[in-house]
Structures are given as C-alpha cells and as structure tokens.
Amino acid sequence: DKLQSAALKAYLRHRRGFDIDQMCLAFIGYEGSEHHVATQRRAVGKLLKRHGGLCVGSGPGVLYDQKKFDIPYIRDFLLDRGAAGDVSETATTWSDLQTLYDAVITAAQAAFAQLRVMGYVMCHLSHSYHAGACLYFTFAFKASRDMLAEYEVVKAAIQQAFVDNGATLSHHHAVGTEHAEWLEEDISPPGVVMLNALFDGTDPGRHLNPGKIV
C-alpha cells in the first residue's frame, strides 16, 4: 500500500504537475437505475476532464466505507494522551463558503494562541447542494491545564465564527445543550419565540428531550 501510494503521488506531482499540498479528494457515489448511473458517470467524467481532474478509482471510497466508523475512536486515543479533539459543522451558501472557512480557521488558531497550546484544525466539505454546502471542521490540541475548560474556549470560538459569518449553528448535529447559547443568534429572537410557541402547543410540560433546543 505504501509503495502504491508513493507511486501515485510521484505520478501526480511529476507527470500531472499537481501540488500535493493543494489537492483535494472527492468521494462521488451514484444512485439510481443502471441507465441513470451511467448518465451520471459520464457527466462527472466530462467535468473532470474539463477541469483537469483525475479519477483514482473506487479504492479510496471503499476504504472510507470500511473505516469511517473507526474515526470517532481516535478521540479516545487522544484523550488518553492528554489531547482533546472534536468536530463542529455548519452550512452556508457557495458565495460565502471561502469567507466562512477563512474565518473559522482564524478563530480556531486564535483560540490555540490564547491558550498557548499546539493545535490543528482541518475541514472537509461533507454535503453539497445547489445553494451551498456543509463545512465539517475537525480540531485537536494538546491540553496544558484544564482540558475541559480549554476545549470550551476552542469550541466556542468556532461556533461564534459560524454565527458571526451568517452560517448555520449546525448542519446535522443539531443544537443540544452545547450549542444552545447561540440559538438566538442563529434563528433570531422571533425564531426562538416561535419554537417556544410550538412546544407550548405540542409539549407544554416539556417532557420530550427537555432543554435540548429551547
């Protein structure tokens, strides 16, 4: 596997002229009838050719499918070694995507600097739509004192960057107690009033998942 990976990188760098550090990898799946899938594949092939992309086959997708549920356990590995890590995800329009990305990276790095810890923040585009996309950020840092307190500083910086730049508070992880303090900034004060009215009418005793939304 290492030899194959090295050979592919050498080909991309020397024969195709790609900058490995600036590349991105997209996992593309197809659904539908045999005819529909074939049509989709042809359309994607034309786009790749037009923009100088390269199809590397199904191998990366198959490997991701096998390993994707192993990733959360990395957090346990980090915790055992004095490091903290988590994810934050959001969504915005295509026109605001780059601005949002830059703002979140800057906010996370500023939080690391404030805490005087070594940290990393990464991002991938996990869902895309005609109007916009979901940016999924993963961050980790070497804790120095109170891990939970330091984690909350970094997490808050990222979440605040979301709402400050007009992005959603969350894309699919939902609100919950951890994100509740930003809900009003996300959906506006009238939006919170509407949610409370909905709960007043359907669950006045607040028995269903109390305190997890409003």
Domain definitions of the chain by residue range? 2-69, 79-173
Annotated catalytic sites, by residue? Answer: 136
Rounded to 5 degrees, φ, ψ at 78 are -65, -45
Whether the per-residue pLDDT at 1 is higher than 80: the answer is: no
Residue 2's pLDDT is 83
pTM for this entry: 0.83
Question: Which of 2-11, 57-66, 79-88, 156-165: highest mean pLDDT?
Answer: 156-165
* Sign of the dihedral defined by the CA atoms of residues 148, 150, 151, 156, in that order: positive
CB of 143 closer than 8 Å to CB of 150: yes
Whether the per-residue pLDDT at 212 is higher than 90: the answer is: no
Residue 209 banded pLDDT, cuts 50, 70, 90: confident
For the domain 79-173, what is the CATH code?
A: 3.30.300.330
Poorest-pLDDT segment among 16-25, 98-107, 194-203: 16-25
Q: How many CB atoms lie within 10 A of CB 141?
A: 23
